[in-house]
Amino acid sequence: MSDRNHSFPLSRRQVMRGLLATSAFGLTAKFGTGCAQSSDTGGEAATDGAAPEEMVVGFIYVGPKDDFGYNQAHAEGAAAMVANVPGIRLVEEASVPETTAVAETMRSMIEIDGAKVLFPTSFGYFDPHILAMAEEFPDVQFFHAGGLYQEGVHPKNVGSYFGYIDEAQYVAGVVAGRMSKSGKLGFVAAKPIPQVLRNVNSFTLGARSVNPAATTQVIFTGEWAEPVKEAEATNSMADQGIEVITCHVDSPKVVMETAERRGVFTSGYHADQSPLAPEGYLTGAEWDWSSIYTSLGQEFMAGKTLMTGDIPHILRGGLADNFCKMSPYGPAVSDEAKADGDAAIAAIKAGELVIYQGPLMTNTGDEVIPAGSELKTDDVELEKTDYFVEGVIGSIS
């Protein structure tokens, strides 16, 4: 999820599309690294409920597929879909910015590769790019990671999916709170949008459930990928004596490696970063896209579509629904912290633990949930989060 806006050279896919547009002959090609094999069969798939023999599915990433973060998590899920669902043929393109470049990539995957389903995975791809392509290609299904679909407003061939990963952040906070002797935690964040704020809050509430005095220092970098600022923020936290650092940026790689060098515990995000911090990695909040992508692949091969109503336009879930998961505990995690983390996971999956319960105050002293009230994970009010809870050190403005 990013709003990076850089200039990129033409991809091999874009060059190929230009050749097709100017040639009087059909052309079959096999692309090299970064692009999947293309076929002149087009991978035709019916949208009237008939099961296809082959389904071409395209995935588009805003960054590299091996970023140890957001993009890698999606790429691993795409690979799982292909491995688990016979008949799925995958085409991919990485490092596609949130500009007209993504529209060009989508068009090329449809016209050259015959893709009938697209997963443009970055937040900024949605409006206007996905919406415009969906209008132009009504027989192609577009699935966006971000939960922005509105019934009656957006095209019927557009769907959205996302996970309540703040449940996993809560568990990570429990482990961090138990492992930190001082209770001083840190959170390197990109931007103060609702999902980021919700992750910070849930992490903090998890920590304070085992250590009521725990605090979370937040530093915003301003962008989804700012390696220099991420390193500076991590070093600043280490200098302040913060004992566990986590983050919400595109790639946690810099944060994890910097904290490891400083001897600070870490908690990951998006994917498993334990190889980057073999001594200090505690656990992490990971996406489990393998599960949802495999399930959707099976639906596609059964002839089900968004347009026929066989696939819901909004797909959401948390730990219990396998939309997200925890990284395995690292070697530094104590038995007590493991027990607390496992108990939190079990309670969340069973629906017995509600993270947002009253009385809940903001870090500026305002009450957001009164005593006796609660906001469950799927409550739409949490999608509008614009505050930090008590215990967070930092400002949104």
Tens digits of residue pLDDT in 301-322:
999 999 999 999 999 999 999 9
Q: Is the pLDDT of residue 47 over 60?
A: no
Q: Does residue 185 sit in the same domain as residue 130? A: no
**Residue 148 pLDDT:** 77
175 and 62, same structural domain?
Answer: no
Q: Are residues 348 and 261 in the same domain?
A: yes
Judge if 178 and 257 occupy the same domain.
yes
More confident of the two residues 73 and 50: 73
What does the pLDDT average to over 364-374?
A: 98
Same domain, 340 and 275: yes
**Residue that finishes a domain, picked among 301, 321, 341:** 321
- Whether 7 is covered by a domain: the verdict is no
Distances, alpha carbon 225 to alpha carbons 6, 116, 200, 247, in Å: 12, 31, 18, 12
Pick the closest to residue 389 from 358, 347, 344, 350 (CA basis): 358
**In this structure, is residue 234 part of a structural domain?**
yes
The pLDDT of residue 51:
79
Residue 374 is assigned to a structural domain of this protein: yes
In a domain, 172, yes or no: yes
pTM of the predicted structure, to 2 decimals: 0.83
Residue ending a domain, among 303, 321, 339, is 321
pLDDT greater than 80 at residue 88: yes
**Radius of gyration over alpha carbons of the chain, in Å?**
22
Shared domain for 196 and 101, answered yes or no, is no
**Number of domains forming the structure of the chain:** 2
pLDDT confidence bin for 4, thresholds 50/70/90: very low
Contact call for residues 44 and 114 (beta carbons, < 8 A): yes
The model's confidence at residue 49, banded by pLDDT at 50, 70 and 90, is low
SS (H, E, C) 297-335: HHHHHCCCCCCCCCCCCEEEECHHHCCEEECCCCCCCCH
Task: Assign residue 114 the CATH number of its domain.
Answer: 3.40.50.2300
Average pLDDT estimate for 184-189: 98
The answer to whether residue 290 scores a pLDDT higher than 50 is: yes
Quote the domain boundaries for residue 316: 12-39+47-163+289-321
The pair of three-digit structure tokens given for residue 192, joined into one six-digit string: 């103060």
- On whether both 367 and 301 belong to a single domain, the answer is no
Same-domain check for residues 248 and 227 = yes
Residue 3 covered by a domain: no
46: pLDDT confidence band, cut at 50, 70 and 90? very low
More confident residue, 158 or 6: 158
Q: Do 266 and 203 sit in the same domain of this protein?
A: yes
| Residue 134 and residue 272 share a domain | no
For residues 213 and 156, state if they share a domain.
no
213 lies in the same domain as 342 = yes
Residue 165 in tokens: 């990963």
